[in-house]
Structure 1
Amino acid sequence: MFKILHVEDDPDIQEITYLALQLSERFEVRQCSCASEAILLAKEYVADLLLLDMMMPGMNGDSLLSELRMLPQYEDTPVIFMTARANSEEVAALKQAGGIAVITKPFEPLTLAGQIMKVLNDGPVKTRV
């Protein structure tokens, strides 16, 4: 089972994402609605994957990733960014910032778990015990 830390400020997208991933039974999902909450949770919860919204009040997804990278348990944790702005320049910038993939919003809830599993299976990601 893969542990996911999902950070999303929109409660509707948060719930849809949670339900979509829980139905697959491959994921344990912990969610936060803002960057500061995620930083606090990350100190006690070690995830196998970060699923980060890009546009949030206070701190955007790539800034949050920079903060999380300062924690030893998150130095090399894979990250998938979720964004409504997915032009080729934005996607390239997010990959440059450390993202292994970008999921465009709105996304198809029924295929979200499969998209994430494909990304995880294509890379050298291992679950933590």
Structure 2
Amino acid sequence: MKTCLVVDDSRVIRKVARRILEELGFEVAEASDGAEALAWCRVVMPEAVLVDWQMPVMGGLDFLRRLRLEPGGQTPKVVFCSVENDLDRIREALDGGADEYIMKPFDGEIMAYKLAAAGVAA
């Protein structure tokens, strides 16, 4: 079973994402910010990461840049999940190493499509 790490400071968003991802066949882990997520990845590198842009302690883009420098950090497919809809910000995430981008709010169909587009399916 593939693992997806959901990184979001909103417990509600993590819960919704977990439910969708589990229905898609993923084992799900959660982190409330980028620093917690990076520590988790240093122990167990997931196949996929769903990450929010704006979070306390360490935001999504900083997390992504640091993840890609970790041993094995190029492997996970990273999907940004944010309310950010400015094209320059979306491009910044993709240029920073994200594989896909999902706008909040999202549903299971969108999540399945974006994960498949990123090259990861359960």
TM-score scaled by length of structure 1? 0.83
Instruction: Please give the residue correspondences for 1:33-52 in structure 2 after superposition, counting only pairs within 5 Å.
Output: 33-52=32-51
CA RMSD of aligned residues (A): 2.0
- For residue 57 of structure 2, give the secondary structure of its aligned residue in structure 1: coil
- For residue 99 of structure 2, give the secondary structure of its aligned residue in structure 1: strand
C-alpha displacement of 1:126: 9.1
Output the amino acid matched with 1:2. Answer: K
- For residue 4 of structure 1, give the secondary structure of its aligned residue in structure 2: strand
Where in structure 2 are there 5+ consecutive unaligned residues?
A: none
C-alpha displacement of 1:111: 1.5
- For residue 98 of structure 1, give the secondary structure of its aligned residue in structure 2: coil
Question: Does structure 2 retain, via aligned residues, the 8 Å contact 1:53–1:81?
Answer: yes
Greater CA drift, 33-42 or 6-15: 33-42
Question: Matched residue pairs, number?
Answer: 122
Percent identity between matched residues is 25
Pair 1:4 & 2:4 matched: yes
Residues 1:29 and 1:101: Cα distance change in structure 2 (over 3 Å): same
C-alpha displacement of 1:15: 0.2
Give CA-to-partner distance per residue, 1:14-34, whole Å, 9 cap, x none. Answer: 000001111122x11111111
Question: Does structure 2 retain, via aligned residues, the 8 Å contact 1:21–1:112?
Answer: no
Distance 1:91 1:113 in 2: 17
Pair 1:118 & 2:121 matched: no
C-alpha displacement of 1:114: 1.6
Distance 2:111 2:95 in 1: 24
Question: Does structure 2 retain, via aligned residues, the 8 Å contact 1:5–1:31?
Answer: yes
Distance 1:77 1:23 in 2: 20
Q: Could you say which residue in structure 1 is the equivalent of 2:94?
A: 95
Distance 1:39 1:50 in 2: 11
TM-score scaled by length of structure 2? 0.87
Output the amino acid matched with 1:100. Answer: D
Q: Could you say which residue in structure 2 is the equivalent of 1:19?
A: 19
